[in-house]
Amino acid sequence: MQSRAARLGLIAAVVVAAIVVFVVLRDNNSNTSSNTSKGVQVLNVDARGNPVGGVKTLTYNKGDQVELRVNLAKPEDAVHVHGYEIEKPAKQSPVTFSFPAKLDGVFEVEVHKLNESGDAQIAELHVNP
Amino acid sequence: MRLMPRLKLATGLALASPVAALLFPDAASAHALVGRKDLPVPAWLFAWGASLVLIISFALLSVAWTTARLQDEDWRAMPRWLSAAVLNAGTQLVCGLIGVGLFVVVLYAGFRGIEDPTQNFSVVFVFYTFWLGLVVLSVLFGDVFRAFNPWRAIGRTISGGFRLAAGQSAPAPLRYPEKFGRWPAVLGVLLFVWLELIAGGGASPTPHDVAIATIVYSAITFVCMGLFGVEEWIERGETFNAYFGMFARLGPFEARDGEVGRRRFLTGAPQWAVVPGAAALVLTSIAVTSFDGAQEGVFSGVIQWTFERCNDIGFSLPNSFRIANSIWLLITLVGVSGLYWLGVTGMHTVRSSPPVKELGRSFAHTLIPIALAYLVAHYFSAFLYQEQAQFTYILSDPLGHGSDLFGTAGGGINYGIVGSNTVWYVQVAALVVGHVTALTLAHDRALKVYDSVRHASRSQYFMLAVMVGFTCFGLFLLSQANA
């Protein structure tokens, strides 16, 4: 395998193989998932400001409408969607959100508790490209 | 690292409110920028990256060259006017002043600025612009940190003043022991990353922590410069010079004896000084990046488990976090180093091998591209976001007190600057390119170390296994939830 032609041939073969595998794999696995969260998603928050049943993962495709209803057991400071930087006061329950998923990536939804007592993540938005 | 203004433990145990309030006073959150995390690389892209790595590796083995080509650096000076323009006394003075100026701003912002790390110059500058940005600059333009190194600038000024006053150079009472090699830098990198990821006990380190750490590190550096001599310590023992200098070896440019020069592609890395601790430095870099990627992803379960056990036996929540994460940082370090030294031990079974220790050192530079690839894959998007912060509101309002020095205080981070697809392709491409570069360097070094092409090729089966291991581990980390 020391001749120049043989080397170039092998390199070309590798490039072709890489491209073919890429195209095949990519076409068989579209990024857009059909397993997305539709409609209004309800997030319940307990009296300590923590999510009931743990942090929920909500999956969207880019461009979907994100609709959230956060039910609070007691007044909090604010509910904050990171990355999108939407923050709504949380003196009264429920706090509702409705916005288009324009950015892809992973974003946290947090409750900012009253009296400077920290933040609690209540949901994670996964927006597929 | 993700900048977290306030304490938030991953899951489970929530902090009792009064404790949190005491430890982490609330901060105004005009720009709350915990922001966006990367989506995991999709399974198909992970599969493609991994298979590409295998295909390329075996192809490379079969077309490999038979005489070492990269061991001779062939450094050549560039036109004289360029050296005169870049390396004159004036630019040295200006660069030194900029370095010292930024150093002072880090301290001042750390002590006097807002406690919210996302709003304070010191945290964003030290962990993003400095720690990551200088790696990029080092690869592109050579060892630029030397010119801006504030400790070197201050040390040179003091020793220059001494020379003027006493009429002779300041004496260095001790010689730097050769066996220390790069070990001080290894320790420095570990402590730096410990500060970044662990010291906050579940939150980002505060600006105050950063300022204190800067003072402690400066004190140690000045004492050591006094003991071993300014240039001697900077060259050998100073953490950041050793760390950025390591990445500068991958690039084409280097200044020597007052002249700017360039070398052939990839011929710089093999010249990386073979000293004790060289392998440890590059392995530490790979390990700490892996740990940052795994901390809230692959390792989150075991870290949480360790954390709860520590808490059970009576440690406070922040201390439990620190202990659990320190343990897993060390486990990562042992695992990463173990893989490399296992490969070296395997290589050692090939006839005409030098002793294991020497063999390990002489292949250490082959891992620098993998360390760089890990950095790019892990921090690409976070760096782009944080630099937007650095050059908008952090620049105009470094203390977070509402000033607007350059009219950019109202700016923010545009998370739409790169989409997930771009991030994924950059991540996978970085790992694949790093892998090929590492294999290339290793094969070439083997041709120099071993007495025949046959032995050299045989030794590379082991290195190939090591490199495939690192690259696929890197891809795996990206394909899992990371932060």
User: Stretch B209-234: mean pLDDT, rounded?
Assistant: 95
* pLDDT tens per residue, range B54-111: 888 888 877 778 888 888 888 899 988 988 888 888 999 999 999 999 999 999 999 9
pLDDT for residue B143: 92
Beta bridge partners of A125: A58, A107
pLDDT for residue B62: 74
Percentage with pLDDT > 90 across chain B: 63
HSE-CB at B189 with a 13 A cutoff on CA atoms is 28
Residue pairs between chains A and B whose CB atoms are closer than 8 Å = 107
Q: Do B36 and A50 touch (CB under 8 A)?
A: no
Say if A104 is an interface residue toward chain B (CB within 8 Å): yes
What gap in Å lies between CA B178 and CA B187, rounded to an integer?
16
User: Which of A4, A26, A30, A31 to substitute to test the interface with B, most B CBs within 10 Å?
Assistant: A31
Question: Which helix (H) or strand (E) element contains residue A45?
Answer: strand A40-45
* pLDDT tens per residue, range B99-152: 999 999 999 999 999 988 888 999 999 999 999 999 999 999 999 999 999 999
User: Per the confidence metrics, is the pTM higher than 0.95?
Assistant: no
Would the pLDDT of B18 be above 70?
Answer: no
- The gap between the terminal CA atoms of chain A, to the nearest Å, is 43
Say if A16 is an interface residue toward chain B (CB within 8 Å): no
Query: Would you tell me the crossing angle of helices B278-295 and B453-479 to the nearest 10 degrees?
Result: 20
Q: Cβ neighbours of residue B6 under 8 Å, at least 6 residues apart?
A: A118, A119, B20, B24, B26, B27, B203
User: Which of B3, B19, B24, B39 to substitute to test the interface with A, most A CBs within 10 Å?
Assistant: B39
pLDDT for residue B94: 96
- Determine the distance in angstroms separating the CA of B42 from the nearest CA of chain A, rounded to an integer: 8
B253-256, strands of its sheet edge to edge: B76-77, B259-262, B253-256
pLDDT for residue B482: 56
The band of B366, judged by pLDDT with boundaries at 50, 70 and 90, is very high
* pLDDT tens per residue, range B423-474: 999 999 999 999 999 999 999 999 999 999 999 999 999 999 999 999 999 9
Write out the DSSP string of B430-441: HHHHHHHHHHHH
Would the pLDDT of B349 be above 90?
Answer: yes
- Dig out the tokens for B209 from the structure: 């922590």
User: Which of B34, B413, B475 to substitute to test the interface with A, most A CBs within 10 Å?
Assistant: B34
* pLDDT tens per residue, range B165-210: 888 887 888 999 989 999 999 999 999 999 999 998 888 899 999 9
* pLDDT tens per residue, range B235-272: 999 999 999 999 999 999 999 888 999 998 899 999 88
What gap in Å lies between CA B150 and CA B221, rounded to an integer?
11
Q: Do A83 and B14 touch (CB under 8 A)?
A: no
Q: Do A113 and B17 touch (CB under 8 A)?
A: yes
Which residues of chain A make contact with B21, given a CB cutoff of 8 A? 115-118
Say if B101 is an interface residue toward chain A (CB within 8 Å): no
Would the pLDDT of B13 be above 50?
Answer: no
Say if B414 is an interface residue toward chain A (CB within 8 Å): no
Amino acid sitting at position B257: D
Residues of chain A short of pLDDT 50, as ranges, are: 1
Q: Do B6 and A106 touch (CB under 8 A)?
A: no
> Is the complex ipTM more than 0.85?
no
Mean pLDDT rounded to a whole number for chain B: 88
Q: Do B17 and A14 touch (CB under 8 A)?
A: no
* pLDDT tens per residue, range B270-327: 988 788 999 999 999 999 999 998 988 889 899 999 999 999 999 999 999 999 999 9
pLDDT for residue A19: 86
pLDDT for residue A93: 84
Q: Do B20 and A21 touch (CB under 8 A)?
A: no
User: Which of A85, A87, A99, A115 to substitute to test the interface with B, most B CBs within 10 Å?
Assistant: A85
Per the CB < 8 A criterion, the answer to whether B462 and B343 are in contact is yes
What 3-state DSSP class applies to A59?
Answer: strand
Q: Do A1 and B38 touch (CB under 8 A)?
A: no
